[in-house]
Chain A
């Protein structure tokens, strides 16, 4: 059944013009640019694609989903994603004057929460701290996304919330594997539902380690593996049957959501990912499962 889904997915992608540049007929194999003997392949959902292709394909997925991204998040998770992001930001414990980087946070969910938390923290601090005004001015939350469409949606939402001209929000386009920020410049780094779309996860983790200053915190919120026996079957059935159908009905794009669901299965499990984070140099690596493992928050410190 998975094979049938995959072929239907491919056909749908063709109809959506994802292979625009490749001029394929309906039944032809996707002909990759002649792979050199040492080019590597990686996962794009359950398909194997050349590494160079993956970020382009992911980019196209997110360009397709950007306009309905928040609505689809609400439908797929039953509104729970808001609670997950709240939990992520409460773990972060933002403080006034923080330099924070939110990667793959195009529509700004996590960034807005961080800004609100910092504003609340500023109100709590007694007014006699030296340089409190300077601290407020120094706060900067960088929102980095590889996809400009997602950033546009985020800027629009910021305006709706009255943060359109906030000096503390900085929108930048960038690649998680090659950030343009200086070494040791960030206090916090969050990536919510973005790291499974990155082609080389270890490079993204190394970049995170590079930009964080000593004592800085890495937090990753990601869909992860459910190990509880009964619940896993329910979750799989929901993921593979319900979610692509919702995508088809709401945004007319089944294939992108098929990709999303498949990419979750291909992502390493909680322990493996935690060991990858530790390999990148982070200390005190912990993870917390939410909803029985459907979502996991991984945390590490640069010390």
Chain B
């Protein structure tokens, strides 16, 4: 078989394997996947008009509206206890939704204490008091510190989506590299109010029990950014792009922890350099694969002519 046919076959296989990826890249993670995502996603969503003020001492925002469905299922995941009592009646699922609503109120109120108390149970206790609930409700969070971190990550990701919609015109006039840099910068800026306690949040996310959810949140974030930037790839590129962006984001996040320059401008310069590296990396990879193809074709041509001459003799 010729080398050209081999490479074409491999490309076909890759595109079939990425068919699911293409569907999800267009749908930005299928609804089924998002249902099973971290419990924070089912918490009450802010109205879009509410300001996203995470600065120290800001008023805890009032939680609004009805959260998404599957309250009963989520409570199984929510509580630390094993066998859960499955409520199937409508009244009970409504009451479970209320329970979820109260918990998101507590988490939101706790955010204003994080910069002082860290990502800890004490912050949750203060948050519960602010929300007018008994702090005994903190016992209902299975992984208390992680619940707070995951809530914050989800809120930031959701706010990023709103920002992308608001700045659509501005983004469409930028080059690809600038667009990515702008979005990553927007997202990282949301963490600045908590930068002093961010190492603690990272260590909580690295904990084995919390790592899976943290990884999923970051994967969704990378997917969101690429989708906002206009990525429509449907093959292996889909995976490599997100992996590369994940690396760039993580590196910049860590760099920011010790960046004391005014306005964090060193971090943004670092970010731009890393994006440039990533693009170069992809270019190099593409050139390498093209070179390999060319070499393969040359070899197959010479081999086939050798055998055909041999059969003639």
- Which residues of A line the B interface, CB within 8 A? 91-93, 95, 98, 121, 124-126, 128-129, 187-188, 212-217, 270-271, 274-275, 278, 283-289, 297, 299, 301, 303
12 residue pairs from A and B, CB less than 8 Å apart: A95-B138, A124-B122, A214-B134, A215-B135, A278-B87, A283-B96, A286-B79, A287-B81, A297-B81, A299-B139, A301-B136, A303-B102
Question: Chain B nearest CB: distance from A116 CB in Å?
Answer: 17
Known: A284-B75, A284-B96, A284-B140. A215 touches B82 (CB 8 A): no
Question: Chain A nearest CB: distance from B118 CB in Å?
Answer: 8
Residue count of chain B within 8 Å CB distance of chain A: 34
Considering the chains assembled together, what is the distance between the CA atoms of A126 and B98 in angstroms? 32
Q: Which of B78, B80, B135 contacts A187 (CB 8 A)?
A: B135
Task: Flag if A93 contacts B83 (CB, 8 Å).
Answer: no
Task: Flag if B134 contacts A212 (CB, 8 Å).
Answer: yes
**Is there a chain A Cβ closer than 8 Å to B3's Cβ?**
no
Residues facing A in B147-178 (CB within 8 A) are none
1/0 contact string of B80-103 vs chain A (CB within 8 Å): 111111010000100110110010
Question: Chain A nearest CB: distance from B247 CB in Å?
Answer: 35
Task: Flag if A214 contacts B96 (CB, 8 Å).
Answer: no
Number of residue pairs A-B, CB distance < 8 angstroms: 102
The 5 closest A-B CB pairs, nearest first, are A215-B133, A215-B134, A93-B139, A288-B81, A215-B137
Q: Which of A126, A217, A286 contacts B136 (CB 8 A)?
A: A217
**Is there a chain A Cβ closer than 8 Å to B244's Cβ?**
no
Question: Chain A nearest CB: distance from B88 CB in Å?
Answer: 11
Q: Which of A95, A217, A286 contacts B125 (CB 8 A)?
A: A95
Known: A215-B128, A283-B99. A299 touches B79 (CB 8 A): yes
Task: Flag if A301 contacts B83 (CB, 8 Å).
Answer: no
Residue of B nearest to A302 (CB): B134
Since A187-B136, A303-B98 are in contact, a sample of 4 more A-B pairs with Cβ atoms closer than 8 Å, ordered by chain A residue number, is A95-B125, A215-B128, A217-B137, A303-B102
Considering the chains assembled together, what is the distance between the CA atoms of A258 and B136 in angstroms? 37
Considering the chains assembled together, what is the distance between the CA atoms of A32 and B289 in angstroms? 95
A217 surroundings in chain B (CB, below 8 A): 134, 136-137, 139-140
B223 surroundings in chain A (CB, below 8 A): none
Question: Chain B nearest CB: distance from A134 CB in Å?
Answer: 13
**Is there a chain A Cβ closer than 8 Å to B121's Cβ?**
yes
Considering the chains assembled together, what is the distance between the CA atoms of A299 and B136 in angstroms? 12
**Is there a chain A Cβ closer than 8 Å to B297's Cβ?**
no
**Is there a chain A Cβ closer than 8 Å to B66's Cβ?**
no
Known: A129-B122, A284-B78, A303-B102. A271 touches B85 (CB 8 A): yes
